[in-house]
Amino acid sequence: MIEIKDLHKSYKMGSNSLHVLKGINFKAEAGELVAIMGSSGSGKSTLLNILGMLDEADEGEYTLDGVPIKDLSETKAAQYRNKFLGFVFQSFNLINYKNAMENVALPLYYQKVSRKERQEKALSYLDKVGLKEWATHLPNELSGGQKQRVAIARAMAAEPKVLLADEPTGALDSKTSYEVMDLIQKINDEGNTILVVTHEEDIAHMCKRIVHLKDGVIVEDKKVEQVRASEYVQ
């Protein structure tokens, strides 16, 4: 599903350059649930943004679902991004003046889905994350956990092949974090490929594999016995 070879990325700052990713090799099959760990500044977001086609590497190869992602036109890249990828961020990134349903429906608008179908689909995805009754509420009327569930519903409504989550529980307390991980595990149970950036050990162990980034390279990549988040939520 995802394959990267010898990926490099530097940020230029004036005459200096910061080499953040120094030859990353990584492969994830369809249906995997992978945690990407590493201390702050280790390049986790940089890697996820490149995988999410929000940023480009300086060197290396990236293949997503059999498609080489390189030198794509802006339009093509945007098409692939909409078709293949769903995003979830620490800060939810919901649109404040749109209600939960409208937020979930937004990516479908860009996929040119009709208005009626957008609403139906948005409602059904809100239902899946347990928030159907909250459809007409604005983000500021929702708790952090509810906002993140809306963001997950929004990402999934576009039916991406891969879900990329950058510290999805970073702004949440433990109990709420486990609720969000429970949802992520259920989505993965249905066969979706998911990458979760986190610096929390307990969250990482709710994935099936943990990849450790350090000083711009992967220093460890191991399969783990998955802890089910449902054991911690009632």
Where is 139: in which H helix or E strand? Answer: none
Q: Apex CA 223: angle with CA 219 and CA 227, to 5°?
A: 120
State how beta strands 16-28 and 217-223 pair: unpaired
State how beta strands 217-223 and 209-214 pair: antiparallel
Q: Is residue 147 part of the contact set for ligand ADP (CB under 6 A)?
A: no
Q: By the 8 A CB rule, do 211 and 37 touch? A: yes
Between residue 45 and residue 104, which ones bind Mg ion under the rule CB under 5 A? 45
Taken in order 77, 171, 1, 41, the sign of the CA dihedral is: positive
Other Cβ atoms less than 10 A from the Cβ of 171: the count is: 16
Which residue, among 83, 37, 8, has the nearest Cα to 221 in the 3D structure?
37
Smallest gap from residue 170 Cβ to Mg ion (A): 9
The entry of Mg ion, ligand ADP, none near residue 43 (CB within 5 to 8 angstroms by kind) is: ligand ADP
The contact pattern for ligand ADP, residues 40-59, with x = CB under 6 A and - = no contact, is: xxxxxxx-------------
Q: Is residue 38 part of the contact set for ligand ADP (CB under 6 A)?
A: yes
Q: Nearer Cβ to ligand ADP, position 17 or 124?
A: 17
Smallest gap from residue 105 Cβ to ligand ADP (A): 30
Smallest gap from residue 96 Cβ to ligand ADP (A): 24
Q: Is residue 145 part of the contact set for ligand ADP (CB under 6 A)?
A: no
Smallest gap from residue 157 Cβ to ligand ADP (A): 26
Smallest gap from residue 91 Cβ to ligand ADP (A): 13
State how beta strands 162-166 and 193-197 pair: parallel
Could you tell me the CA-to-CA distances from 43 to 85, 121, 164, 183 in Å, in that order? Answer: 20, 35, 15, 26
Q: Is residue 9 part of the contact set for ligand ADP (CB under 6 A)?
A: no
From 11-19, 58-66, 88-96, 113-121, give the range in contact with ligand ADP by CB under 6 A. Answer: 11-19
From 43-51, 63-71, 140-148, 154-162, give the range in contact with Mg ion by CB under 5 A. Answer: 43-51
Distance CA 77, CA 69 (A): 8
The entry of ligand ADP, Mg ion, none near residue 46 (CB within 5 to 8 angstroms by kind) is: ligand ADP
Residues that bind ligand ADP (CB under 6 A): 11, 13, 18, 20, 38, 40-46
